[in-house]
Amino acid sequence: MSLKLDTRFHCGPTAMRLPVLCHIAGSRSISDDVPMTTFKHITVAPLAASIGAEISGVDLSAAMPDEVWQEIHQAYLDYIVLFFRDQTLTPTDQVNFAARFGPIGKYPFAQPVEGHPDVIAIIKEAHQTSNFGGIWHTDTTYLECPSLGSALYAREVPPVGGDTMWANQYAAYDALSDGLKEMLDGLKLLNSASKNKASLREDHLADGAMKGQDESRMDVQQAFHPVVRTHPETGRKALYVSEAHAVCFEGWTVEESTPLLGYLYEHTRKPEFTCRFSWTVNTLTIWDNRCGLHYPLNDYHGHRRELYRVTIEGDRPV
């Protein structure tokens, strides 16, 4: 594989003779990535060592005292994705909770739920074989200002299957060699809404209950973003590589970009960086798109799954 690596850091035979310059990938403890915050008002149960926590002791439909909100927000920054089971929420409750994280945004390519302009329904009907968003990704990277986060509320789930996975992209960045970090820092990636548009959205919208909108925009909507972004709230660096939408590095051809992108796709979702959540009806999940990837599994043909989604508007990645 021919990459633009500084030869001082090349992990080939030369570097083997200079072990001091070689980095052992993954040598950093994953659990170092989750800060040890103490919570007084909520109960936080981590789902995996690297990412994800179940939160209990809070009713998201009730007025939330500031000290509770501050702990939820801290847990969100620490764990990237939070799960609140057994919540009874109206669409308005869901929107109001999401609005505490940032301004409510719109998902561009699906029609909202009637009477709830800020909510879309992610539905897979029992007869459908495609699912919505079924490639590892972070949301809407083809926009100038991609979504900060998304809140999903489970209304109907299959008896088994239909889990969603998330992957910690701070940990993915931290585990890279200094050589590869140095090359990726400052590099930009072209993200396009047309890449994988059939399998991500169109096939699914064609034969199910979800209704599309603005489909022609899919072919033109694209944006360059840094491969390594700095989280505006934590100040930490995270990989920002979404397989669903990534086309090529700025100034590189697609052919040149593909091998390195392929390496990064595999790297970003190493099992050690992930968690996997098994939905139950009335679970509200909220995640941070700025430092995490997600992947909905499509292993429940013959069963219906419906989640309501609210999108939170983000800023321009730097």
Ligand X SMILES: O=C(O)CCC(=O)C(=O)O
Residues involved in catalysis:
137, 139, 294, 309
Stretch that binds ligand X, among 53-61, 88-96, 131-139, 166-174 (CB under 6 A): 131-139
Q: If DSSP codes are grouped into helix, strand and coil, which group holds residue 234?
A: coil
Q: Based on the number of CB atoms within 10 Å of its own CB, is 94 exposed (0-12), middle (13-18) or buried (19 or more)?
A: buried
Our measurement of the distance from residue 292's CA atom to the centroid of its chain's CA atoms, rounded to an integer in Å, reads 4
Report if residue 139 touches Fe ion, rule: CB under 5 A: yes
> In this complex, which beta carbon is closest to ligand X, that of residue 52 or of residue 179?
52
What's the min distance (Å) between Cβ of 297 and ligand X?
8
Stretch that binds ligand X, among 12-20, 132-140, 171-179, 259-267 (CB under 6 A): 132-140
Q: Which residue has the tokens 């992990």?
A: 11
> In this complex, which beta carbon is closest to ligand X, that of residue 9 or of residue 79?
79
Report if residue 122 touches ligand X, rule: CB under 6 A: yes
Report if residue 150 touches ligand X, rule: CB under 6 A: yes
Report if residue 164 touches ligand X, rule: CB under 6 A: yes
What's the min distance (Å) between Cβ of 62 and ligand X?
25
Which positions from 198 through 237 interact with ligand X, judged by CB under 6 A? none
* Total number of residues that touch Fe ion (CB under 5 A): 2
Our measurement of the distance from residue 86's CA atom to the centroid of its chain's CA atoms, rounded to an integer in Å, reads 23
What's the min distance (Å) between Cβ of 202 and ligand X?
15
> In this complex, which beta carbon is closest to Fe ion, that of residue 133 or of residue 149?
133
Distances (CA, A) of 115 to 18, 91, 92, 170, 214: 64, 10, 10, 38, 19
Q: Which residue is nearest to ligand X (CB)?
A: 133
Report if residue 245 touches ligand X, rule: CB under 6 A: no
Q: Which residues contact 205 (CB under 8 A, 6 or more apart)?
A: 109, 110, 211, 212
Q: Which two tokens stand for residue 83?
A: 């799960």
What's the min distance (Å) between Cβ of 294 and ligand X?
6
Q: Which residue has the tokens 């800020």?
A: 118
In DSSP terms, 124 is beta-bridged to: 305
> In this complex, which beta carbon is closest to ligand X, that of residue 188 or of residue 304?
304
Q: Residue 317 binds what, of Fe ion, ligand X, none (CB under 5 to 8 Å, by partner type)?
A: none
What's the min distance (Å) between Cβ of 284 and Fe ion?
16
For β-strands 81-84 and 53-56, DSSP reports them as parallel
Residue 131 amino acid letter: N
Buried b (16+ CB within 10 A) or exposed e, 130-159: bbbbbbbbbbbbbbeebbbbbbbbbbebbe
Neighbours of 24 (CB within 10 A): 10
Q: Residue 141 binds what, of ligand X, Fe ion, none (CB under 5 to 8 Å, by partner type)?
A: none
Among 52, 91, 105, 133, binds Fe ion (CB under 5 A): 133
- If phi over 0 gives left and psi between -120 and 50 gives alpha, with beta otherwise, what is residue 64? beta
Among 33, 71, 78, 139, binds ligand X (CB under 6 A): 139
What's the min distance (Å) between Cβ of 99 and Fe ion?
19
Site residues (vs Fe ion, CB under 5 A): 133, 139
Site residues (vs ligand X, CB under 6 A): 122, 132-133, 139, 150, 152, 164, 294, 296, 307, 309
